[in-house]
Amino acid sequence: MNKTNQEDYIKYLEERLKKLSKKAISENQDLDTLIDVQNEILFNEATSKHPLRSNSPKQIEQLQKRILVSDEYIKYLMNSFWWRISYPIRLVIRHIKNHSNYKPFDFSVKTALKEPVEAVIYAEAATSDLIELIANLREQINVNNLIITIVDLIGSKNIAKIAKTNNTKYVNMLIMDKEITMAKTILNKQTKYAVYVGQDFHSNTKDWLYKIVRPIADKYTPISVLYNKRNPNILSIERETFFKELKTRIIDVDDYKCLYLPSNRDNIQYIPITILDQASVIAKKVN
Q: Is the pLDDT of residue 29 over 50?
A: no
Q: Is the pLDDT of residue 73 over 50?
A: yes
pLDDT at 64: 74
Give the residue extent of every domain in the chain: 1-50, 117-285
Q: What is the pLDDT of residues 32-53, one digit of tens each?
A: 555 555 555 555 554 444 444 4
Superfamily of domain 117-285 in the CATH hierarchy: Spore Coat Polysaccharide Biosynthesis Protein SpsA; Chain A (3.90.550.10)
Task: Using pLDDT thresholds of 50, 70 and 90, give the confidence band for residue 85.
Answer: confident
Q: Is the pLDDT of residue 223 over 90?
A: yes
Q: Is the pLDDT of residue 245 over 80?
A: yes
Say how many Å lie between the first and final Cα of the chain, rounded.
35
Q: Average of pLDDT values for 124-131?
A: 95
Task: Using pLDDT thresholds of 50, 70 and 90, give the confidence band for residue 101.
Answer: confident
Euclidean distance between CA atoms 128 and 218, whole angstroms: 35
